[in-house]
Structure 1
Amino acid sequence: MDNTLSHKQHAKIQAHIQAHQHVPGGLMPLLHAIQDDIGYVPEAVYPEIAKALALSVAEVHGVVSFYHHFRTHPIGKHVLQICRAESCQSMGSDKLEAALKANLGVDYHQTTADGNVTLLPVYCLGNCGCSPAVMLDDEVYGRMSAEKVADLIAEVCHG
């Protein structure tokens, strides 16, 4: 068992494995269930998943690493996604990205030292008319600047 996993988290993962182990094509639904429940898919459980689904550890790793949706590490209390699609890039998301990385002190797929914010890239939020766009948790915001995003983060983290 992964020492970073609590017994409760490991029990939840085991329950998901048992629920999906006899489902044809059950790997993707299993990975989604684990991430939805504990926030990420720990690499330490790949062997257990592989054994239960009669797959290799490499196959499990390959699926997790192929799909950008899956995370292999815990995330922050809040998730900030910066749109990287063409419309947002043409409207300055690259400058927004650089400023936010510097202000937060993290790169993509990293979490701030205080555990509050995980920064992720996203490749279209469907808000092209209001570029550049970001999504903080489940809310999309358009026409963003580094200052506006900093205000949003301050509001949700300290608000």
Structure 2
Amino acid sequence: MPINAFPQWTPALLQEQIDAHKHRPGALLPILHAIQDRFGHIPREAVPLIAESLQLTRAEVHGVISFYHHFRTSPPGRHVVQICRAEACQARGSRALEMHARETLGIDYHQTSADREITLEPVYCLGNCACGPSLRVDDRILARVTPERFDRLVDELTTQVLKVS
């Protein structure tokens, strides 16, 4: 399923996620994960709501969001492509794949293509070490990805089916 199937957030829906997790030990990370899982990113408007609910400063909440690369503060593209940067994949060519992906898409990590189709992110091990370089597209892991296979993947992800009436 494409990642863009996230519902629109509202302050009430954000607060619902916060309230569901705020009584857990170390509640900040579960809250951040719940919000991103539900809405695809953590809207900046969530920061004061979380801070107030957990009796933290906005700076403390923002600091955690900005520390972990997993958290997004803007909506992702229709598809999220994560390239493995772990040592095993590096040994099998992931650095060259990274360069090719950034050049092909015209973006760097943590950015989204101009057409809002693809967000590019690094990931540090997909558990597919013997078959690198690996990447994850949305929830699907692909192995032995070459630059040519990456190009075919981008074509597949960005091709829209048109209905002719």
* Alignment TM-score, normalising by the size of structure 1: 0.88
Size of the aligned set, in residue pairs, is: 154
Structure 1 stretches lacking a partner, 5+ long: 1-5
Matched residue SS, 2:10: helix
Q: Is the 8 A contact 2:136 2:142 kept in 1?
A: yes
* Offset at residue 18 of structure 1 (A): 3.0
Two-structure CA RMSD over aligned residues (Å): 1.8
Specify the code of the residue in structure 1 equivalent to 2:82: Q
Identical counterparts, % of pairs:
52
Specify the code of the residue in structure 1 equivalent to 2:45: A
1:33-52 correspondence runs (5 A): 33-52=34-53
State the partner residue of 2:99. 98
Specify the code of the residue in structure 2 equivalent to 1:72: T
1:22-61 correspondence runs (5 A): 22-61=23-62
* Offset at residue 8 of structure 1 (A): 4.5
State the partner residue of 2:21. 20
Deviation digits for residues 23-55 of structure 1, max 9, x if unmatched?
A: 443212211111011111122321121011111
Q: Is the 8 A contact 2:79 2:117 kept in 1?
A: yes
Q: Which has the higher contact order (CA 8 A, sep 6+)?
A: 2
Q: Is the 8 A contact 1:80 1:134 kept in 2?
A: yes
Q: Point out the structure with the larger helix share.
A: 1
Structure 2 stretches lacking a partner, 5+ long: 1-6, 161-165
State the partner residue of 1:112. 113
Structure 1 residue runs of 4 or more that deviate by more than 4 Å after TM superposition:
none
